[in-house]
Chain A
């Protein structure tokens, strides 16, 4: 059975990993973008990104100074019985990671804007728990920067507007322009509820970015016809993936959320037994 200390340690290690190295699927997508891009300025930016990723990994330093907000996904096996406060353990992990990785203190009070200095606060870290089969505890961290999060959008569409979903996604990317540090990853949640579709959009970003179905590829191609390019200075690659998750929704509604992720699609997972 996992212990409190193991969870704390794991959370620190996961942040260290997520902040300093990208997963293979993300690196592959970035390299491919560099190869196919023809715009010189965009290519130069992609080269800087790839170089930056290498330096961060070699020196074990955060690839981006915006080390993000701590978002944590927990998959808790139903057969597992924990005798400690999981939330407290994750919080302690975030506080320690802030010092040890280190992470930039990003969490502030929404009104006074006072910085807590350790990345925890009201509902922070954001912890999502799903109960799953088995006896394992899977922890995934997803530090997410504000540049891309700020460009995300949610729309309560009408049930008659199913054919307008693609347009909405492309429009959100268009409005974001160069602000979210393209080339981006586009997480989409379709269905569920107001809050549920936003969560689905975020979870979509955890998927392998090179594994898209036909519908997702169709939207990706449309997005890339916009010509925003790396860093918004023009080019053929604006997005590297469009990833969609679905939920059943009320017969009278069609919630759609688009969660934008910058090129630094940082996430890391570990399984405790």
Chain B
């Protein structure tokens, strides 16, 4: 199914693990440093250059190139979301809803309950992702460096993304992890 930003609470609640979605509208990139700075701003009451509330946060450090008419995205796949576990848990205290796009999964199934979803996009698929990124609308905090800055992308049918953590406490990663731990015990016995 296609979801259009801003994504309403209703849509978020409807999404269930295993669903496949495509995103159209606006996505903003944020990695370690952007999360830390955003939290710093929020806690000190400073206004963010772009709101993280009701946003689609893309864990991505894109490869972009400066061209005469602005910025051109060369490659923009997702980065490892687990690095943002702690910052995201904190951020979730300050937002009403959120859609996170990343790869590798997160440990936030409790905290994100009732508020948001985590969508998994294929890690490393930077060239494929660019097909869906129509333009760079804006960029903030470039002083953090190209990968760590907050890039505002206009996207059209960005996907396929898999709902990997839904707003009802379900996580595909938790399920896989449980099975993997069981499998590991059996493997070790044989080795």
On A, residues with C-beta under 8 Å from B are 41, 44-45, 48-49, 51-53, 55-56, 59, 61-67, 102-106, 108, 113, 115, 117, 145-147, 150, 166-167, 170-171, 174, 177-181, 222, 225-229, 231-234, 262-264
Contact = CB atoms under 8 A, between A and B. Distances in A.
B15 to A, nearest CB: 15
Interface in B52-77: 60-63, 65, 74-77
A231 B126 contact: no
Interface string B174-185: 011101110110
B176 A65 contact: no
Given A55-B131, A65-B77, A178 B173 contact: yes
Nearest to A234: B176
A225 B80 CA distance: 23
Nearest to B175: A234
Given A62-B63, A222-B191, A178 B127 contact: no
Given A66-B61, A178-B105, A104 B123 contact: no
Nearest to B83: A150
Contacts of A179: 80, 82, 104-105
Interface residues of B, number: 50
| Minimum-distance CB pairs A-B, first 5 | A181-B123, A115-B145, A52-B128, A48-B122, A65-B126
Given A113-B33, A174-B180, A233-B172, A102 B104 contact: no
15 contacts: A49-B122, A49-B125, A52-B126, A61-B74, A66-B79, A102-B63, A104-B61, A104-B147, A105-B147, A147-B80, A170-B187, A177-B176, A178-B103, A229-B176, A233-B172
B147 A106 contact: yes
Contact of A147 (B104, B125, B177): B104
Give the residue among B125, B131, B190 with the most A Cβ atoms within 10 A.
B125
B124 A262 contact: yes
Nearest to B179: A227
B183 A227 contact: yes
A63 B104 contact: no
Interface string B11-51: 00000001010000000000001000000000000000000
Interface in B127-182: 127-131, 145-147, 160, 162, 164, 172-173, 175-177, 179-181
